[in-house]
Amino acid sequence: MSARSKARKRALDMLYAADVRQTPVSEVLEAEAKRAASEPQREASWLYAREIVDGVGDHATEIDELISSNAQGWTLARMPAVDRALLRIGVWELVYNDEIPAAVAIDEAVEAAKELSTDDSGGFVHGVLAAVARSRTA
């Protein structure tokens, strides 16, 4: 697994934890930063995970609006928490991180959804992120 894939998983864990616990992302990020300080071998994945979580936090309103407007028939509250977190990561990478190709951002989120969420989540996550990507290139 690449360092960026590991970072996405760490970011997913943090965003999911904050969402489920209804805790500010900054608190979860601070706790994870303390843990990461004692794990220098995981520094590469930690740096990108922090960038993702900071980015999602900095652009939360815009990201959630993009998800909501492209998730036909679904509200954010109705989505599984894992899907919400994966979509937030995917949208952040699509919109705010020019280093990640759209196909990579979408594929990583879809594969994680297939592995970690419901049977229908892979298709759902793909549909929402593909719509966001199309709207960005239009």
| pLDDT of amino acid 38 | 82
| pLDDT of amino acid 111 | 97
CATH of the domain at 54: 1.10.940.10
Task: Report the 10 Å Cβ neighbour count for 14.
Answer: 23
Range of the domain at 61: 3-137
Considering only the C-alpha atoms of the chain, give the largest distance between any 2 of them, rounded to a whole number of Å. 45
Read off the pLDDT of each residue in 92-107 and give the average, rounded to a whole number.
97
Q: Is the pLDDT of residue 37 over 90?
A: no
Number of domains in the chain: 1
| pLDDT of amino acid 12 | 97
CA distance 105 to 130: 10
DSSP 8-state secondary structure symbol assigned to residue 99 = T
DSSP 8-state secondary structure symbol assigned to residue 2 = -
Nearest partner of 89 among 121, 123, 48, judged by Cα: 48
Q: Is the pLDDT of residue 138 over 80?
A: no
Q: Count Cβ atoms within 10 A of the Cβ of residue 42 and give its class: 0-12 exposed, 13-18 middle, 19 or more buried.
A: middle
C-beta of residue 108 within 8 angstroms of C-beta of residue 1: no
DSSP 8-state secondary structure symbol assigned to residue 59 = T
Distance of CA 37 to the CA centre of its chain: 22
Average pLDDT, the chain: 93
| pLDDT of amino acid 78 | 94
To the nearest 10°, the Cα dihedral for 56, 61, 67, 69? -160
